[in-house]
Structure 1
Amino acid sequence: MTRRDGGFRGGSRGRSGSRDLRSDTRSVSVTVNYALNLVVATMLIGGVLTATGGMVQDRRESAVRTELSVVGERIAGDLMAADRLAEVGTAGPGADPTVSLSVTLPERVGGTRYDVSVRTSPAVLVLQSDDPEVTVRVGYHHDTPVETTTVRGGNLRIELASDGDLEVVSA
């Protein structure tokens, strides 16, 4: 069926019999669909990576916090044991106490280094990791004076110094 102007009813050919490219949308739909699929896939992958990246960081902080708590409890326990040994050693007549405890600790927790600060007022150990920055406080009790100090995590030694104070030093 032809129209009055000589073109076909489908409208795909103009007066001269050639195709009108402005009305041809067949190749555009394939290209547009492909581009839209790429955009949607990119957005989904980006969203998944963003969501799981935060979750991994939260899990790492939680693991570091837990490990620092365990390390802090070990140091506090050994510090209180050294305190008891120093108290018992000074109780006897003419006693010259020698107290030295080795504390075997990991150099890293959760893949990061950490510092141990011994504070006496209040009596607390402050453990702080480098990356991620996590701080844990662990209390302890002491009767013997304790030197305030900060040491790098790893093997430590708790000693009774010549002035009668307990000191925490790197081993």
Structure 2
Amino acid sequence: MDDRATSVQIGYTLSLAITAVLISGVLITAGGVVDSRQEQTVRSELTVVGERIAADLMTADRLATAGGSEVRVDVSLPARVAGASYRVTVDTSASPPRLVLTSDDPSVTVTVAFDSTTAVDAGTIAGGDLRIVLTPSDTLEVRST
């Protein structure tokens, strides 16, 4: 008759263990979904930021081509995208030239091409507000403000 009391305790313990395993599985799965969503959000926001910079670079190029001696285009951008800081690299070695936007956490890289008849200086700057200027050597330069 003592066997029945033991089987209730074992059943209760097994129920708790199974519940703990199921809850752990749900939490691990949900964590992966959140990470995936954050990466997609960062990729989307970096694409939008890159397209804005490319459009403003092309605007500065049109102004310089039209004979503007002092070209300055201010670009107001967020310092972070989806909570992640990012860098903007102007890569002029590619054809066509491109902007490479990179975030660290999560690690996401987005490339946006742009056209420019005026030479553009290559370089890397932190994300945030930017200024595109025509330098005395008649090249466009992207600077942090």
Q: TM-score, normalised by structure 1?
A: 0.82
Which residue of structure 2 aligns with residue 47 of structure 1?
25
Offset at residue 130 of structure 1 (A) = 1.4
Residues 116-158 of structure 1, C-alpha deviation per residue, up to 9 Å, x if partnerless? 0001121000000110000000000011010001000000000
The share of aligned pairs that are identical, in percent, is 51
Which residue of structure 2 aligns with residue 58 of structure 1?
36
Superposition map of 1:13-32 within 5 A:
24-32=2-10
Q: Is 1:104 aligned to 2:76, yes or no?
A: yes
Which residue of structure 2 aligns with residue 161 of structure 1?
135
Offset at residue 167 of structure 1 (A) = 0.2
Q: Which structure has more RCO (C-alpha within 8 Å, separation ≥ 6)?
A: 2
Offset at residue 107 of structure 1 (A) = 0.4
Q: Distance in 1 between matches of 2:36 and 2:51?
A: 23
Q: Distance in 1 between matches of 2:140 and 2:131?
A: 10
Q: Which has the larger radius of gyration?
A: 1
**Displaced runs of 4+ in structure 1, greater than 4 A?**
none
Q: Distance in 1 between matches of 2:61 and 2:36?
A: 37
Which residue of structure 2 aligns with residue 93 of structure 1?
none
Q: Is 1:140 aligned to 2:118, yes or no?
A: no
RMSD, matched Cα: 0.9
Residues 45-92 of structure 1, C-alpha deviation per residue, up to 9 Å, x if partnerless? 0110111110110000000000000000000000000011001116xx
Q: Is 1:79 aligned to 2:57, yes or no?
A: yes
Q: Is 1:127 aligned to 2:127, yes or no?
A: no
- In terms of fraction of residues, the more helix-rich structure is 2
Q: TM-score, normalised by structure 2?
A: 0.96
Structure 1 spans left out of the alignment, 5+ residues: 1-11, 13-23, 91-96
Q: Distance in 2 between matches of 1:102 and 1:76?
A: 13
Q: Distance in 1 between matches of 2:92 and 2:117?
A: 11
Aligned to 1:105, the other structure's residue is in SS state: coil
Q: Output the amino acid matched with 2:90.
A: V
Which residue of structure 2 aligns with residue 115 of structure 1?
87
